[in-house]
């Protein structure tokens, strides 16, 4: 039985409308915050006040209403669309730990006849190959590179009303307006808002001048290209602060005007709130990162990420993981699956309806180039998580190489960064620990002098 994508508002904060109305009143009304809220409860003019304030351009009051959405059986393309909204929080069913063999994939409802048959053949072949690789002993995190971007995802999303409005408007009038799956989800959420939070509905209307822009075209070559692990995920550090230690010291003194404690890197890193690290910005690129690897990167919300649209991905370029490359039978099955899929992709321009949905034909193992900027505090967290031996190998390779280059730029600081067992002196993974703490710590002690692993 085909499962249709569904979006449900499963939670919203109590008295959301009264809270937003209280926020609208507090700057101009006498009384304390609690009293204003108590007066707002069941107030008949709450909705009219909220709509009036929103119409005047003051949107921040909507940030006090919070919703949690459950997205069920949506395509991973839709998942990626949602996750781009960085003022929301997400928890996604993991492709590293869950077998997706029987979770299905999205089928555009207008497909029929030969178009539908070709679409199904493409997807079914890839799911069959995915299952075959799992049976052959390939780890799920590597077999998933064959999963097409139509496969079903399930996740939770929590966001405030202002960001929800932004998301729905972007679907209606922005880069999602030509995606029927997204339109259907927006219809479902809007219908629920009509009863749960109707004061938001005026915000969902189109304003003059909003256009989606031209959708990027996918790139294709005549034959697939496979990149081994050592050629994928190349990191290049593009921009670093000129005098980072001086910036840190200035920020340290700004927060401690009395000068009671002298600045040292040790004191800074031992503090419970090292906000000074946020003054250091680092820009880097990762070339030939898989779409799966990109999902690990975007989970870090405190960054400025420039990544291509899934619509423009090169369908011809694929990762070749070690777990497959080292075994002839696995390699043959992987190559046959990719080549069969690529043959169908090359036929898409002949079939306009399928070409319209070319983004569902992208594979999780397709490769993209990305650029991002993170501050040193976020880098500390990113490296602690992603350089751990339990991290997925692709993002771990990138994190370790990034750390190597950061250490060359500012060894006094970044020489102290690494996985939890190195930077914190203990493994935070508990029973899931790799059990190699001394070995890992020794490796990161000399990382800047070693070759890329």
Catalytic residues: 386
Query: Token pair of 128, please?
Result: 């069959």
Between the two ends of the chain, the Cα-to-Cα distance in Å is: 46
Q: DSSP H helical segments within 237-372, as ranges?
A: 244-255, 265-270, 291-298, 322-325, 328-345, 352-356
Report CA torsion sign: 384, 388, 390, 392.
positive
Task: Count Cβ atoms below 10 Å from residue 101 Cβ, excluding itself.
Answer: 16
**Which residue matches tokens 């048959």?**
117
* Contact by Cβ (8 Å): 199, 50: yes
How far is residue 65's CA from residue 161's CA, in Å, rounded to a whole number? 5
Find all residues with CB under 8 Å of 38, minimum gap 6, and list them.
Answer: none
Cβ distance 361 to 349 under 8 Å? no
All residues at 6 or more sequence positions from 441 whose CB lies less than 8 Å from its CB, including other chains: 418, 421, 422
H or E stretch at 430:
none
How far is 53 from 59, CA to CA, in rounded Å? Answer: 8
For residue 283, CA distances in Å to 371, 385, 452 come to 7, 19, 20
Helix runs in 160-311, H state only: 161-173, 180-196, 244-255, 265-270, 291-298
Count of CB atoms within 10 A of residue 261's CB? 11
Secondary structure of residue 49 in the 3-state scheme = helix
Helix (H, G, I), strand (E, B) or coil at 272: coil
| Distance separating alpha carbons of residues 409 and 415, to the nearest angstrom | 10
Start-end of H helices in 41-150: 46-55, 76-83, 113-135, 140-143
User: Which has the closest alpha carbon to 383: 452, 295, 444, 453?
Assistant: 444
Distances (CA, A) of 338 to 136, 332, 341: 17, 10, 5
Alpha carbons within 13 angstroms on the beta-carbon side of residue 243 total 5
Task: State the Cα torsion 173-296-233-448 to the nearest 10°.
Answer: 130
């Amino acid at each position: 039985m085909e499962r249709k994508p569904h979006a449900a508002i499963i939670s919203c904060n109590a008295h959301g409308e009264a809270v937003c109305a209280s926020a609208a009143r507090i700057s101009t009304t006498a009384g304390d915050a609690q009293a204003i809220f108590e007066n707002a409860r069941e107030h008949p003019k709450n909705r009219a006040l909220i709509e009036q304030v929103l119409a005047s351009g003051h949107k921040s009051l909507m940030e006090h209403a919070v919703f949690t959405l459950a997205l069920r059986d949506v395509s991973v393309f839709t998942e990626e669309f949602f996750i781009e909204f960085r003022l929301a929080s997400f928890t996604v069913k993991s492709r590293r730990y869950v077998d997706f063999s029987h979770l299905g994939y999205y089928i555009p409802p207008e497909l029929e006849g030969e178009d539908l048959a070709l679409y199904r053949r493409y997807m079914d072949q890839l799911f069959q190959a995915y299952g075959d690789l799992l049976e052959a002993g390939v780890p799920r995190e590597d077999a998933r590179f064959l999963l097409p971007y139509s496969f079903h995802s399930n996740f939770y999303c929590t966001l405030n009303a202002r960001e929800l409005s932004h998301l729905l408007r972007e679907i209606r009038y922005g880069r999602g307006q030509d995606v029927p799956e997204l339109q259907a989800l927006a219809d479902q959420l809007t219908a629920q808002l009509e009863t749960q939070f109707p004061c938001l509905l005026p915000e969902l209307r189109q304003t003059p001048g909003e256009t989606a822009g031209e959708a990027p075209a996918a790139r294709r070559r005549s034959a697939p290209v496979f990149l081994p692990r050592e050629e994928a995920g190349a990191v290049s550090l593009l921009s670093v602060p000129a005098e980072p230690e001086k910036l840190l010291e200035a920020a340290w003194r700004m927060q401690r005007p009395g000068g009671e404690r002298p600045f040292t890197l040790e004191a800074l890193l031992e503090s419970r709130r090292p906000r000074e690290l946020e003054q250091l910005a680092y820009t880097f690129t990762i070339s030939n990162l898989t779409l799966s690897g990109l999902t690990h990167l975007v989970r870090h919300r405190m960054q400025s990420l420039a990544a291509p649209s899934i619509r423009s991905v090169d369908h011809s370029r694929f990762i070749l993981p070690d777990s497959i490359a080292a075994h002839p039978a696995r390699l043959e099955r992987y190559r046959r699956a990719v080549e069969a899929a690529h043959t169908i992709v090359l036929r898409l321009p002949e079939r306009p309806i399928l070409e319209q949905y070319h983004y569902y034909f992208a594979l999780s193992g397709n490769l993209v180039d990305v650029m991002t900027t993170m501050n040193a505090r976020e880098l500390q967290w990113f490296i602690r998580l992603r350089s751990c031996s339990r991290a997925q190998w692709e993002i771990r390779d990138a994190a370790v190489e990034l750390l190597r280059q950061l250490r060359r730029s500012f060894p006094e600081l970044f020489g102290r960064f690494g996985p939890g067992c190195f930077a914190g002196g203990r493994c935070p993974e508990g029973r899931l620990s790799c059990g190699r703490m001394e070995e890992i710590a020794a490796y990161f002690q000399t990382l800047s002098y070693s070759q890329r692993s």
